[in-house]
Amino acid sequence: MNLQKKFHLVFSCLMGAMMISIMTFVITLVNVGWGEHFVLTWMKAFGIAYVVGVPVIFFLAPVARKLTGKLLGVSPP
């Protein structure tokens, strides 16, 4: 695996972990409130979302970069 592909994979995993942890925390808190089983419910939501979210980020990030470049009239990095 070349360095650029490895970078994209690690980026997707890290971005997924950060974004998904915040989003699932907020949505779980809104839906079930701060209670006895909050952390367990949040971790379950995080696990499911991470398995779905990381591949989505991995495959859609390049598409989003290209679309952003076209919208702004610049070449994506």
How many domains does the chain contain in total?
Answer: 1
Query: How far is the C-alpha of 39 from the C-alpha of 29, rounded, in Å?
Result: 10
Predicted TM-score (pTM) of the model is 0.81
For the stretch 22-63, pLDDT in tens is 999 999 999 999 999 999 999 999 999 999 999 999 999 999
Q: Tell me whether residue 16 is in a domain.
A: yes
Q: Tell me whether residue 77 is in a domain.
A: no
Q: Tell me whether residue 65 is in a domain.
A: yes
Of 56, 19, 60, 27, the closest CA to residue 44 belongs to: 27
- Which residue range is the domain that position 12 belongs to? 3-72
Give the per-residue pLDDT at 42.
Answer: 97
Q: Tell me whether residue 49 is in a domain.
A: yes
Query: How far is the C-alpha of 73 from the C-alpha of 56, rounded, in Å?
Result: 25
